[in-house]
Amino acid sequence: MTQAEFNTLWLPLNANLYRVAYYILENEADARDAVQDLYLKLWNSRDGLDDISNPLSYAIRLLKNQCIDRIRRSKVRHTEDLDGIESPDTGPADGGLGAREDLERVGKYIDQLPEKQRQLLKMRVFEELEYEEIARRTGLTQVNIRVTITLARKTLRQKMEAGL
């Protein structure tokens, strides 16, 4: 499947998919992220999408499963977060040194990102620009921007977890 075919067939489903994700997740940002992750998955498997007879049904089924996985992961994270809570007097004596080191590491990881990812991530996170404004400034589509930012965040998350 070519990019033009993908854009013609799958991208118009965006509004419907967002509504489904929002209905399940009840959060705008999570819904946008879920739809974005779905588009990444679809794009990565675009060679096998030619045989899909009903793209909307297929996409909704994938999206529903993704949303359920997100909810499950979220519940696991919340219980893990509660397990790690310490009382104020048993915390580390460095008083936030770990947080400062983490921030420095994230800054280094951001600097290692490809130029396009770094630029878009900074516009979205540090300048707090909306996707529409980023699209206007860069000339990229909003879908392309979301995909790129999602990839950048995924890369940062993996590097933080690996402690690279």
Give the pLDDT score at 99: 56
Give the pLDDT score at 100: 63
Q: What is the pLDDT of residues 61-73, one digit of tens each?
A: 999 888 888 887 7
Token pair in block for residue 54:
């009903």
The domain limits of the chain are 3-83, 96-162
* Cβ–Cβ under 8 Å, residues 117 and 148: yes
Q: What is the pLDDT of residues 107-121, one digit of tens each?
A: 788 888 899 998 998
HEC assignment per residue over 95-162: CCHHHHHHHHHHHHHHHHCCHHHHHHHHHHHCCCCCHHHHHHHHCCCHHHHHHHHHHHHHHHHHHHHH
Fold classified for 96-162: Arc Repressor Mutant, subunit A (1.10.10)
Percent of the chain that is helix, strand, coil (3-state, to 5): 80, 0, 20
Give the pLDDT score at 87: 38
Instruction: From residue 15, give the alpha-carbon distance in Å to each of 12, 92, 127.
Output: 7, 47, 26
* Cβ–Cβ under 8 Å, residues 127 and 119: no
Fold classified for 3-83: Rna Polymerase Sigma Factor; Chain: A (1.10.1740)
Residue ranges in the chain modelled with pLDDT below 70: 75-103, 164
Give the pLDDT score at 116: 92
